[in-house]
Structure 1
């Protein structure tokens, strides 16, 4: 394409006309180029269109005439608007020139498409660029000066903040009035000094100043709350922002530092936290807590107080504490609390007491324990009352006193000695019988110990049993010798612990009864029994030799020939009588051995329990042919026993059943064997009522005899020997008796007893 070149005067109108005709194309081309450069900026499209039209209007106007001075002046308005937009978008001078060059290129490209070109056009466009750059530079400088002035005013007037600069080595490079007020240094004193003078010695020793500068240099800034040092040595809390400052090449120029004194805030936060913790404690407290100001008006009323007094905190706050504690005197509370003596309670006209009468919102009065203590909240003085409802305790104490009064009345009207001692053995209570027996008054005994009245050996015994009661925590029955009327008498004492409401033993009580006559009678019976047992043993021993002689002589006579029938019968009666007496002697000797502690001797051999029982049953059936004996055998009969003793057990039980059972009812003998033991049961039908528990409890005692269905009674040692023989085998025997099934003796024996 051929480009037409016009003279300055002839071509101006042509160029202006061509630009107006192709305005939209020029605007579109410039805006497309602008949008590519301005991506990411907050730019209004309508604003850009308006700027483009403004430049095109001025361009066509200036092409049609005007001197260079007039042309530059004509650009001022549109260049100002563009400069304002550029400053808002953060342009620098280079970007302004670049964007205006884009306009020049867009106009030239469109006109070149029509074959038009002119030096005048380029001159005018260059003037537009120059005007825009000049206006932008002027505005930017004006904004910069204004910002610098505002910054200087801000820094100088910011007394709440220390704002200053550090050079790249951490030395103070600037100082404002806020820094002087907060840190205490004048500018002349601190400029050029290392900024570590603001750090505590321990922080300097740990290298914290260098570490914070390095953190700001790497991350751009450091923010934190630290303890810092003033010129006068005082310590304060500081909120610090330390920012690294770099030049356009990225080189570190220094640091800006903004410090705010946060001491008041830290203290306020600590106080608020303390109040929160205190509030949480107060609200969770079991006791009612009421805080009053110096005038006695309630300032705090916790939840426990709401429950105790039946009043909400909202209703209680602001009212006088005397509403709920009518007897409390503020003047006394204040005086005592000022002396730092927390009180258990204060009552009007009566001084300090441990309890007060409190009043609920409904007017009901109840006893409380109160402790007053001074406190400070936010610099103001308050008095805290810790109130505990002791209604239950008072009722319990009243009931205890009433019970003690009744107990004392009962104790004073009994012949037994009744007393109470504390843990140290001091008498707390004695009854009238105690006074009468020992010839002492209560006034003489209360608060004293046994050592004040009795001999050392008796005191030691009394104290030992008292301490055993405390150690066991349960009652103890003991016989004690007590000096009465110049001689020792035996008392049966029941000693027991006394516990408080918490279950702790606080004392021991005792009830002592004179049993001297009973003890003497018991001792006499024991001596008599011992003599009887000795006599029995001697008698049995001395009878054995003549009995053996009679039995042997009878046997010899029966072995002779030539005796008539009458003589044989007489000798047989003599022999049988001697054998029966020998059996009784054996029983007496067994009894003597058991009572002496030697026990029954066993000769263990392998045996069949069934065979032993059959042999004894056959003998019993032959001896009493009119009675019926039923037998049953189950299980393995083998084991190790003393066959003679087992036969004695079975024989005694069958004889006992025949003697004490109904004559028209059979006696049953049942043997059952398991893998480890043998059970023998001998049962008969009752004559009359079944055995009572008292009879069963002593049925195996020696010399115990029951009623018989006929014949003469024995020595009362048969069941005693049964029990001892079974025990010697490691077994047990028990008695069952009821109206339906009769009475049974059940013996359980191990198959292989352990020999002692």
Structure 2
């Protein structure tokens, strides 16, 4: 063997060793029929087969079953033989059955006379790259779908000259154009003509390019020619090499927000005016109130002075309430009202509210009825503000209920929620007014409201306070002239059995006992009944003797509070008749009288048969002391 032949053999050996040692590529030889003739280390690592496991087998073992069924491996060899080389990417199969994404190059091998002697095959694992490309593609697709699905923002792309290149659904919704109507057109079509003449579109592009990002607000034009106030953000888009590719533009319709800003500014000015007005009104009210107090201390004023004094006092109280309403209206609209909820007695809240509203109801001779649970009701609330809610509802009912009408406040607790109704048989609410009855300064129907005093603040304030407690409030009415009901619910309520000092808690002598109050003075009977209800008793009232006897037969009361001086049938006569009824001897009877011990003479009514006696007006402390020492079942 000559020197040239030795050199050729050595070169061939070196090339063989090089190919066999390559780790990142599977390099192997096939005969013309596709039988594996050689196998390098990269092939063993990539495909998982040792050389003795594949040499002599057809290379189709590396293809998925669907590809083999379509005779694709043989088709690849045919293309390589025809064209000299063939390259593709596709799925291949390792020995363990796992798939990988491969780049495949098949080269036809021919001898010196052109006869096909086989094929050289190089395979590279591109699975990682494909996964990255697929992840990128999916990310781009998700981003595209995200942009396309955004409806509150117009998001679109411009080329470097400002021509529209993309258009999302939000852009169509805000500007009114379909994508086909804007693609390829200059974005200046969205500017007002005067802004275009002033060069604003060009300036916007230039500023974004120079500053890297611009944001502004201004008027823009929709397809229908209407204008809207827009917030615009524009940023240039650059390629990896820094080449300017265009602009990204985001537009948001701010018309409603701009309107709200203007309203908020107006609202602040109104609040400042109300606060100033209320402050200025309070200055003259203080000396007027002092003057009334001085007149009230004046001994033995004349009837004329007394009537004038009382009239001033009533009107001053009304004016003070209006000023307080003005202040609360300002605090309410500016969000300055705060509540401090704590566990409070709803019974006490009712008592305070009724006490405040009672003069207005008495002035119009309203019949007031209170229906509350016999046991104590506790609720998580701000006591002062909840009193305000009830007082406003009661005052509203009194205001729109004619003289002699009826007003009822009822309450119940279910599933931890307190439900309260204030019902009247007054002027009612028309369907047209129902929508705005809780709005600030609303006074319902114009004709009815024009006859009443007030600013239309009370109901709006009541709604705000109830909602701040996490509750809800609403109104209902069969219609004008048919009365109305204002209802609200609050969370965090519970009922607890009330027990009075001196009572044996081991014996269920609780305060659910039935009590009968009898007095021909309706206000006196109703007010005493209210107190007893708030103390936890079941109370029924009667305004004459015969009605009292009928009520006693029905309710079988444990106790009776009897007015002494009643027409037709006075207190002692009623008591004798009660004692004669079945079980009447067990009734605890209390005489309620306007005569004190110093006034008693032989000619006064006989108090024999009564178990106790209370002096009008009944003091709460005296009543509680009496009940604390009485066993009522």
TM-score range, shorter chain: 0.3 to 0.5
Superposition TM-score, scaled by structure 1 size: 0.36
Q: Relative contact order: is structure 1 or structure 2 higher (C-alpha 8 Å, sep ≥ 6)?
A: 2
Structure exhibiting the larger radius of gyration computed from Cα positions: 1
